[in-house]
Amino acid sequence: MPGSKHILVIGGGILGLCTAYYAVRKGHRITILERAGGPEHACCSTVNAGMIVPSHFVPLAAPGMVSLGLRMLFNPESPFRIKPRWNRELFDWLWKFWRAANARHVERSASLLRDLHLASRRCYEELADKPGFDFGLVKKGLLMLCKTEHTLYEEAKTAEAARQLGLSAEVLTPEQTARLDPGIRMDIAGAVYFPLDCHLTPQRLMTQLRQYLQSQGVTFHWSTAVVGWQVGVDRIDAVRTEKSELTADEYVIAGGAWSPEIARGLEVRLPLQAGKGYSMTLSRPKQLPTICSILTEARVAVTPMGEALRFGGTMEIVGLDESINQARVNGIIKSIPHYFPDFGPEDFQDEPVWSGLRPCSPDGLPYLGRFSRYSNLSTATGHAMMGLSLGPISGQLMAEVLSGEKPSIDISALSPDRYG
Ligand SMILES: Cc1cc2nc3c(=O)[nH]c(=O)nc-3n(C[C@H](O)[C@H](O)[C@H](O)COP(=O)(O)OP(=O)(O)OC[C@H]3O[C@@H](n4cnc5c(N)ncnc54)[C@H](O)[C@@H]3O)c2cc1C
């Protein structure tokens, strides 16, 4: 096919698979290099809460986040933590985060994030209609459940901002909330309902994407960690893995929280911190809501996935450390009965806990597109808590960039050179 390229994608998470999905549809030949040993590996893209969230038009770097982080610093069960350590990259990231956490940045980012989430939602609708895909897409909205009047008041302001952006959002009393999901006992002051949000089952999505890609001739190399690069004057000549060197026309870094490590040795700057989260899935929950929700004060996501119910939360900036911190997990478990009184800690006994490292950029926006330093190197990473939601549109935009086309959404604010 004219213009067809061999594209090497590093990382088999949602961003790697979505980039491959849209690039293969444009006729490119794709090879995916994945450090993990096999297709069923757990990564951030499989353990997440499965929410597609046009409601999340406020980036992580927003006013109030710095003071919130400081207030939670000394509570071992709080949903947010930064592990204090002498690390130049962490200080640099915190400084950039602090500078970005202002109203102007939020205002500038909101319409872009809205457009990206809505476009991605449409991509998911298309994907769900394709033969071979059945990943449990449910288009019933998201409830921000508020325990206190104060939080409800604050969330109502977000609802108003959403409406100004053209997104539907309703402030609900406890009775109105109960009518949306009858049979589910909730103890709340009220909720904000975002009807456009959706949820799905991420493991199924990932498996079906991989199967589709394989059927389209995409090659997967498992147990293949990228460890270095061969660099020419202004282009990448090859990647080095532990086993061999591999060459391609284009190279895409989609290594999630490991992306800066993968890019080491290259003349690019990609400030990124891993934001660790945990999830637990009850296969036979006492009650099964039909609408996904966020326990707003506790920052816990609750998502029905078929007959199962997943709970996910915490954001720990602790480096590339995937270990389970039981105190934080207890924080998630203890918060649940405050909102859903029929659940208790006993429901979670013996349930496995999964951790995932979210790739967090300092300004809360993804890195998408080409690095100017090299003519054939690009990245799709930094999606923090929105990687599942923004996966398909990111993949589509990457495929456009890799094909030399003008991106269908202006992604200049997402340039991976913005801290270069
Ligand atoms: C608890 C929790 C709940 C979440 N809920 C949601 C949600 O509801 N909605 C939403 O939109 N987002 C959610 N997220 C965030 C979302 O999961 C992430 O943004 C997304 O999965 C990031 O995808 P990724 O492909 O960038 O990274 P990953 O999924 O981490 O994939 C990166 C891949 O690169 C591989 N890799 C690393 N180093 C190398 C190397 N050297 N060579 C080769 N391969 C390498 C890794 O093994 C990994 O498979 C949640 C996250 C967590 C933790």
Alpha carbon 251 to chain centroid distance? 22
| Full 3-state SS string of 2-50 | CCCCEEEEECCCHHHHHHHHHHHHCCCEEEEECCCCCCCCCCHHHHCCC
For residue 69, what are its two tokens? 């982080």
Per-residue pLDDT reduced to its tens digit, 135-185: 999 999 999 999 999 999 999 999 999 999 999 999 999 999 999 999 999
**C-beta of 301 in contact with ligand 1 (< 6 A):** yes
The set of residues, in sequence order, having a beta carbon less than 8 Å from that of 107 and lying 6+ positions away, is none
Handedness of CA 223, 89, 377, 120 (dihedral sign): positive
**C-beta of 9 in contact with ligand 1 (< 6 A):** no
- Which pLDDT score is estimated for 69? 77
For residue 212, what are its two tokens? 């589709």
Per-residue pLDDT reduced to its tens digit, 71-126: 776 677 888 888 888 899 999 999 999 999 999 999 999 999 999 999 999 999 99
User: Which of 388, 389, 393, 394 maximizes ligand 1 atoms within 8 Å of its Cβ, making it the mutation to test the pocket?
Assistant: 388
- Which pLDDT score is estimated for 95? 94
Task: Select from 223, 225, 191 the least CA-distant residue to 296.
Answer: 191
Per-residue pLDDT reduced to its tens digit, 354-378: 999 999 999 999 999 999 999 999 9
User: Which of 17, 41, 45, 386 maximizes ligand 1 atoms within 8 Å of its Cβ, making it the mutation to test the pocket?
Assistant: 45
**C-beta of 302 in contact with ligand 1 (< 6 A):** no
- Which pLDDT score is estimated for 2? 59
The atom of ligand 1 lying closest to the CA of 241 is: 42
Q: How far does the centroid of ligand 1 lie from the alpha carbon of residue 37, in Å?
A: 16
- Which pLDDT score is estimated for 418? 97
Sort 165 into a burial class: Cβ within 10 Å, 0-12 / 13-18 / 19+.
Answer: middle
| pTM of the complete model | 0.97
Rounded Cα gap, residues 146 and 296, in angstroms: 6
**C-beta of 263 in contact with ligand 1 (< 6 A):** no
Per-residue pLDDT reduced to its tens digit, 237-256: 999 999 899 999 999 999 99
Q: Is the pLDDT at 1 greater than 70, yes or no?
A: no
Rounded Cα gap, residues 110 and 312, in angstroms: 24
User: What residue type is assigned to position 374 of the chain?
Assistant: Y
Percent of the chain at pLDDT > 70 equals 99
**C-beta of 300 in contact with ligand 1 (< 6 A):** no
The atom of ligand 1 lying closest to the CA of 354 is: 1
Angle at 222 between CA 217 and CA 225, to 5 degrees: 120
Per-residue pLDDT reduced to its tens digit, 171-219: 999 999 999 999 999 999 999 999 999 999 999 999 999 999 999 999 9
**C-beta of 8 in contact with ligand 1 (< 6 A):** no
